[in-house]
Amino acid sequence: MQAYRTSTKLKLGLIAAAVGIAVASLVFTQRLADRLEAQDEAAVELWARAIEFQYAAGAQSVAQFDRLDALRQRVEASELAPVVRDSVLAALDLAMEGGSQDGLDFVFSQIVVPNRFSVPAIVTDSALTFVSAWRNIEGVGEDALSDAESARLLDEAAAMDRFNTPIAVDQDRQLVHYGESPLARLIRLFPFVQLAVVGLFILVGYLGFSYVRRSEQSNLWVGMAKEAAHQLGTPLSSMIGWVELMRMGDEAPRADAIADELEQDIDRLRRVADRFEKIGSLPDLVRQPVAPILESVGDYMRRRLPQSGPPIRLTVEASEGLEASMNAELFEWVIENLLKNAIDAMADGGDLSVRAIAQGTDVVVDVADTGKGMDRATARHVFRPGFSTKRRGWGLGLSLAKRIVEAYHGGTLQVVSTRPGGGTTFRITLDGTAVAPTAEPAPIAPR
């Protein structure tokens, strides 16, 4: 149930993140587009006023020329002295040649004619029947307009007016219609493209997460099945052996001896059943001495040490009076898993130790071996479900051990030291109470 709730929260978190990114992107790009639109509008306004100035300056130049020409005619017909008349006529000719035309030429050549902005714009008469100028209209060149192109520009001008109010020039005799620049359109479309990319990223992440989760679940189920078979196999094999001895008749051991051994195997099966029953539910923790639990596991594992090949020496030490809150069946399972992994890593024999001491109010249990050790990369992944360095391993033992220690007992399980060829030390830390925290660990003699 907890895993399901966590998965649901993760999905909702991904959706909320996508919505948040989308909203923030839409707000930001909308503001950016509005600022760009204001700049485009200012550029069109400048273009329109330049056209208006051109018309006004042109009309003023014609009127001024007419006045100067009339004055020149009067001077020519006057009876002024030739020297004076010639000087006045020269000045009038200079004025008529257009000193004031420079400003008009600048406006026309630098603002009206060049493409100073990318906003599509069309200049028409106020009745929207004639096109006099246009800028940035796709598919329409600068040459004379055909009837079809003129009709198209008039339609586009009417469409532009639905979004932007046209700018009046030349005393409202002409209107400048304008639309949205390509850059502004791209900016408005950008958040939707970004949302699609973010959505795709979240989808890929979710599918990847689901795949990893399904893979881990599959490894977990396979591992649990193999672990159950492994846990049950040892006492069952022993019971089968005792049954065979019972069938030997007179040569069989005494019935009470066989009954004692069968009782131990049955008790072992009960412990295995209890362990798997407690996986998935919070077990009851009882404050109890640590030494008897470690001694029990040590005795069980010594009887299963390899009898051929280099010897493995197993020692168990625990400080007197050391207690901790734990579930005995599950904690024994943790120690067994650590010892089994250590034995598998000691093909050349060596020393294997379990040592429990007090550190403040904590109980620290170190399981150390002199086996082949691990490199750093392996040590980082050793607790991951499905990860195993054994050819026929299923990568569940250490993962279950870590879950039992941390999720059920509120402690920690970690690799404190390891190196290739130099052995490995696992450390379990539990909340406990030491009656004699300064006492040296009391060795539990092998049996």
The DSSP annotation for 291-332 comes to: HHHHHHHHHHHHTTS-SSSS-EEEEEEE-TTEEEEE-HHHHH
Q: What is the pLDDT of residue 252?
A: 59
Task: Between 86 and 304, name the one with better pLDDT.
Answer: 304
Query: Of all residues in the chain, what percent carry a pLDDT higher than 70?
Result: 68
Q: Which of 12-21, 215-224, 301-310 has the lowest mean pLDDT?
A: 215-224
Rounded CA gap, 388 and 219, in Å? 11
Q: What is the pLDDT of residue 68?
A: 61
What pLDDT band is residue 208 in, cutting at 50, 70 and 90?
confident
Quickly list H helices, 247-283.
255-278
Contact between residue 424 and residue 383 where contact means Cβ atoms under 8 Å apart: no
Q: Which of 152-161, 388-397, 406-415, 427-436 has the lowest mean pLDDT?
A: 388-397
Most confidently predicted of 69-73, 188-192, 324-328, 429-433: 324-328
Q: What is the pLDDT of residue 88?
A: 57
Task: Please give the DSSP secondary-structure letter assigned to residue 109.
Answer: I
What pLDDT band is residue 438 in, cutting at 50, 70 and 90?
very low
pTM higher than the cut 0.75: no
Closest Cα partner for 111 from 162, 71, 57, 37? 57
Rounded CA gap, 356 and 71, in Å? 121
Q: How far is CA 268 from CA 120, 236, 263, 329, 401, in A?
A: 87, 9, 8, 10, 19
b/e per residue 25-43 (b: at least 16 CB within 10 A): bbeebeeebeebbeebeeb
Range 138-164 average pLDDT: 82
Most confidently predicted of 131-135, 160-164, 300-304, 354-358: 354-358
Range 114-128 average pLDDT: 76
Q: What is the pLDDT of residue 112?
A: 45
Q: What is the pLDDT of residue 234?
A: 66
What pLDDT band is residue 366 in, cutting at 50, 70 and 90?
very high
What pLDDT band is residue 443 in, cutting at 50, 70 and 90?
very low
pLDDT of residue 369 exceeding 90: yes
Q: How many helices and strands (H and E) does the chain possess?
A: 10, 12
Most confidently predicted of 33-42, 206-215, 293-302: 293-302
Mapped onto helix, strand or coil, the DSSP state of residue 29 is helix
Instruction: Measure the N-to-C terminal CA separation of the chain; round to a whole number of Å.
Output: 44
What pLDDT band is residue 238 in, cutting at 50, 70 and 90?
confident
pLDDT of residue 13 exceeding 80: no
Closest Cα partner for 365 from 399, 388, 336? 336
Q: Collect all residues with Cβ–Cβ distance below 8 Å to 96 and sequence separation of at least 6.
A: 65, 68, 69, 72
Contact between residue 310 and residue 348 where contact means Cβ atoms under 8 Å apart: yes
> Can you say how many angstroms the Cα of residue 244 is from the centroid of all Cα atoms in its chain?
61
